[in-house]
Chain A
Amino acid sequence: MRAPFRIIFEQRSETPRYLSGFVPLVSVLAALLAGAIFLMATGYSVSETYSNMLQDGFFSSRGLTDTLGLSTVLICMGISAAFAFQMNLYNIGGEGQGYLGMIGGAWAGLALGPHLPSVVMIPALLLIGAAAGAAWIFIPAFVRARLGTSEIVTTLLLTYIGASLVNHFIYTPNSYFRAPDVVFPMGRTVADSAKLTAIGSTRMYPTFFLVVVLAVFLYWVVKRTEFGYRIQVIADSPRAAQYAGMNARRTTMQVMLISGALAGFGGATLIVGEFGKLDPGITMLGYGYAGIVIAALARNNFAAIIVSGILFSGLRVGGDKLQITTDTPIHIGVMLQGAILLFALGGEAFRRYKIRAVRMQAVTQ
């Protein structure tokens, strides 16, 4: 039997303004609705689950500060991804560049920490982490700029090598990064001068404000500087840029290196923050991959990334705590987190395409 209708997607030449705000809102509501059906079917209270998730993620002082604390690294990964994406450079290896930032930051904290006061040490550590992240994307950037090699493949593969490097530094006997004479392979805590103290009794570090300022600064760079203008022109039309005498190769290198540096910076914030040491656990957390989603949700808008980063973070914090504050098992929280993200990203289709149902005969003629 043939369906009498066919669904067709028509690309919109221009997205109507009202859809930009409307679609994400409806997407999240649809996700909550789908989650509610699931909760009811499995016998958990919808209102209790949702109110707890919101409260633990946003509307309690602990929830909010936990969310802002986690969002620090997530926003960093988001702006890292978006900085490359805006020029159609798909750096999906922010994850690996983040590992390198952590390695570089841990090295700085261990090697330089004992000799430097905090005011010098903290910025130095963050910059060394950023440099390590940039170094990790150098080869993908170079071969992309010179030979046009797909950066999607190279940055992703280097992420696995980065993970192996982290493991190597922790599991190798007598490694510089490893705590000495202990029974279990784990990182050595950096010097006190290389660690920030959390704000009050929260788990949020001052790096949050630094990262927010960084995102706003990048917003300004992209919208208001010649460099930002060049990125937009090359992204929109490489040929037009060529005619205008813009050096696309050099800009590709610059943009990718900055993207890598931002991810490395994110990794280094974990060293001055809650980790305080190189920890192989980082390879399980997926902050860099989350950054891709955060950038996509914000459509590569740096100011919007602050918002999407905080929302994503709150979703994770609230969802993770759900099993503590309610009787739901861990799977419910994970399922709701996934559903909301999937719907939010899926909603993009409605923004970009006009979706119509057409009578079959009309198309098959």
Chain B
Amino acid sequence: MKKFWKLAATAAAASLIVAACGGSDSASDTTSAPAAKTDLKVAVVYIGTTEDKGWSYQHEQGILQLEQELGLEVKRVENIKDDATSEATFEQLAADGYQLIFATSFGYGTPMARVATKNPEACMQWATGAKFLLTKAGGGEYADFDALPTNMGTYFGAAEEARYLSGIAAGKATKNGKIGYVAAFPIPEVLRGINAFTLGARSVNPEATVQVTWTKTWFDPTLEKQASESLLDAGVDVLGMHQDTTAPGVAAQAKGAKWVGYNSDAAEAAPEAWLTAPTWNWGPFYVKTAKAVAAGTCPTDEAYGTMADGMVTLGSFGKSVAADTQSMIEEKKAAIIDGSFAPFTGPINKQDGSAWLKAGEKAELGFLLGDMTFFVEGVVGSAKG
């Protein structure tokens, strides 16, 4: 063990020097000595298995990229429930000398923070997390922000950008103007997605409506299928979703309807129904973070990726998406990336027709993250679940 720490310290020192010489991120990309990087011990904790073809699978793609680019082997820990019992996992990883640990589910936050406090030499990264939720004011255990561990960061991204674009594909695909949406939980993250999707659909099909059904689960293929079928029976001919599996796609295809997926490019699950999907690209974040830790700094900010930095992406187009629709989406995508367009730009009305954003007014990120508790005009269903 002692020998390991000596090695690790030497490696960290060496990479610090290299980084100092490099000066900027892009320079250090090319000048870092590979030997310094390979000594970094990295682990990732999954709530499911890496074969779920959804959330965990997509993170695994990023981890594979990290392994390849930095020439190291990442320890995967799968099927870890994201409640207080996960503390044992993080503690074991810290005790085994893992210097960088990624936790890919929301519920890992508090257990991870406890272990971070006890192991200041390890760097912790919490996906979908928010530090506010660890403080007393947010329902957590820490007195305030100052009491939080100083070796822990969070990461997530603006899926709403890709949701808007996939909404355009849905708005173009619907024949009767009725779109369905299978949604997990009535929380800002999901409401934000539904609203962006609806705005996208109505930007090309002003009369279109999006009917929402709640499943109250992230991962339950049977329930997701049943919810999809009830929407299809109600007459929708396109399905959007905020779920972990591809069950809604299979249900849509069986009824000859179209489908917008989520998380990963899963066209092969229902090729006839597939339109496109908002997808995640975690690789660049994982690579960047590992490089920073190898260089001796633990990023502790609350990273929020976008389409511009590549964390949020749009999947491939299905064959039923017309060429002009594709180019229209690509155009909007370019506008989102260069910053000239944001999905939540007024005029936008709330579900009941009252005004939310005035013409040209843009919603603040903080509001979108924490205060989006309502639907916009065009959504059918209750935002309370």
Contacts of A203 in B (CB 8 A): 87-88, 91
Contacts of A188 in B (CB 8 A): 139
Option from B77, B107, B187 in Cβ contact (under 8 Å) with A183: B187
Contacts of A279 in B (CB 8 A): 83-84, 107
Residue from A70, A171, A203, A324 having most chain B Cβ neighbours under 10 A: A324
Q: Return the chain A residue nearest B46 by Cβ.
A: A330
Contacts of A330 in B (CB 8 A): 49, 77-79
Option from A171, A270, A282 in Cβ contact (under 8 Å) with B385: A171
B324 within 8 A of A: no
On whether the beta carbons of A171 and B384 are closer than 8 Å, the reply is: no
Mark out the residues of chain A between 160 and 215 whose CB falls within 8 Å of any chain B CB in the assembled complex.
167, 171, 173, 178-189, 201, 203
A348 within 8 A of B: no
On whether the beta carbons of A276 and B141 are closer than 8 Å, the reply is: yes
| Stretch from A77-85, A115-123, A233-241, A315-323 that touches the partner | A315-323
Contacts of A334 in B (CB 8 A): 79
Contacts of B130 in A (CB 8 A): 183
A302 to chain B, nearest CB (A): 26
Contacts of B138 in A (CB 8 A): 179, 181-182
On whether the beta carbons of B107 and A56 are closer than 8 Å, the reply is: no
Contacts of B88 in A (CB 8 A): 66, 203, 317, 320-321
Option from A173, A178, A201, A275 in Cβ contact (under 8 Å) with B84: A275
**Complex: how many Å from CA A277 to CA B140?**
9
**Complex: how many Å from CA A317 to CA B87?**
12
A281 within 8 A of B: yes
B188 within 8 A of A: yes
On whether the beta carbons of A285 and B139 are closer than 8 Å, the reply is: no
**Complex: how many Å from CA A188 to CA B138?**
8
On whether the beta carbons of A171 and B83 are closer than 8 Å, the reply is: no
B82 within 8 A of A: yes
Residue from A167, A320, A329 having most chain B Cβ neighbours under 10 A: A320
Contact with A along B168-193 (1 / 0, CB 8 A): 00000000000000000111110000
On whether the beta carbons of A324 and B77 are closer than 8 Å, the reply is: yes
B95 within 8 A of A: yes
Contacts of A285 in B (CB 8 A): 81, 83, 85
A242 within 8 A of B: no
B334 to chain A, nearest CB (A): 30
Option from B91, B95, B133 in Cβ contact (under 8 Å) with A182: B133
On whether the beta carbons of A182 and B132 are closer than 8 Å, the reply is: yes
Mark out the residues of chain B between 223 and 267 whose CB falls within 8 Å of any chain A CB in the assembled complex.
none
Contacts of A167 in B (CB 8 A): 216
Mark out the residues of chain B between 121 and 161 whose CB falls within 8 Å of any chain A CB in the assembled complex.
130, 132-133, 136, 138-141
On whether the beta carbons of B87 and A274 are closer than 8 Å, the reply is: yes
B75 within 8 A of A: yes
B96 within 8 A of A: yes
On whether the beta carbons of B216 and A275 are closer than 8 Å, the reply is: no
Binding site for B on A (CB under 8 A): 56, 62, 66, 70, 167, 171, 173, 178-189, 201, 203, 270, 274-277, 279, 281-282, 284-285, 317, 320-321, 323-325, 329-330, 334
- Rank and list the top 4 A-B pairs by shortest CB-CB distance, nearest first: A179-B139, A281-B83, A274-B84, A275-B84
Could you write out 5 A-B pairs with CB less than 8 Å apart?
A178-B139, A279-B83, A324-B77, A324-B93, A330-B77
Binding site for A on B (CB under 8 A): 43, 49, 75-79, 81-85, 87-89, 91-93, 95-96, 106-107, 118, 130, 132-133, 136, 138-141, 185-189, 216, 369-370, 384-385
Supplied contacts A184-B185, A185-B187, 19 more A-B pairs, CB within 8 Å: A70-B85, A181-B370, A182-B132, A182-B138, A184-B189, A187-B139, A189-B140, A201-B118, A203-B91, A276-B84, A277-B139, A279-B84, A279-B107, A281-B84, A320-B89, A321-B88, A324-B96, A330-B49, A330-B77
